[in-house]
């Protein structure tokens, strides 16, 4: 029986975990911001923020998150430009990294 050797260093695993945590925080913050803009509160706001985070797992990159929020805001009668959404998304990424 050959023992399983983990070739990644502890620092690499910590960096990966930290990056994944930042992405999750960014997505949730973006979802909270968008949900408030849409008029959501309480449990509905929290559920929406989680749904925004989960949208990030559909395709690589963050365009799926921005597309979800854009579609949701348009659906509730509060459309927003792609530029404004991406600006806010970058702001939430900065906040998540602190």
- Domain count for the chain, please give it: 1
Q: Evaluate whether 17 touches 8 at the Cβ level (below 8 Å).
A: no
Residue 56 lies in a domain: yes
d(CA 42, CA 23): 23
Residue 5 lies in a domain: no
Q: Evaluate whether 78 touches 84 at the Cβ level (below 8 Å).
A: no
Residue 32 lies in a domain: yes
| Residue (of 54, 59, 52, 60) closest to 89 by Cα position | 52
Where is mean pLDDT largest: 4-8, 21-25, 86-90? 86-90
Question: pLDDT tens, 34-92?
Answer: 999 999 999 999 999 999 999 987 777 889 999 999 999 999 999 999 999 999 999 99
Which residue range is the domain that position 72 belongs to?
Answer: 20-96
Residue where the block lists tokens 């509730």: 76
d(CA 3, CA 15): 25
Res. 25: pLDDT tops 60:
yes
Residue 8 lies in a domain: no
Residue 13 lies in a domain: no
Please provide residue 74's backbone torsions phi and psi, each rounded to the nearest 5 degrees: -65, -40
Residue 51 lies in a domain: yes
pTM given for the model: 0.81
d(CA 31, CA 73): 11
Residue 9 lies in a domain: no
Res. 7: pLDDT tops 80:
no
């Amino acid at each position: 029986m050959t023992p399983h050797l983990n070739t990644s260093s502890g620092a690499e695993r910590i960096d990966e975990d930290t990056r994944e945590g930042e992405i999750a925080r960014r997505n949730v913050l973006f979802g909270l911001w968008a949900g408030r803009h849409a008029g959501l509160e309480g449990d509905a706001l929290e559920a929406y923020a989680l749904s925004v985070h989960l949208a990030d797992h559909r395709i690589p990159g963050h365009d799926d998150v921005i597309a979800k929020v854009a579609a949701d805001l348009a659906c509730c009668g509060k459309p927003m430009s792609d530029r404004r959404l991406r600006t806010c998304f970058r702001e939430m990424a900065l906040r998540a990294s602190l």
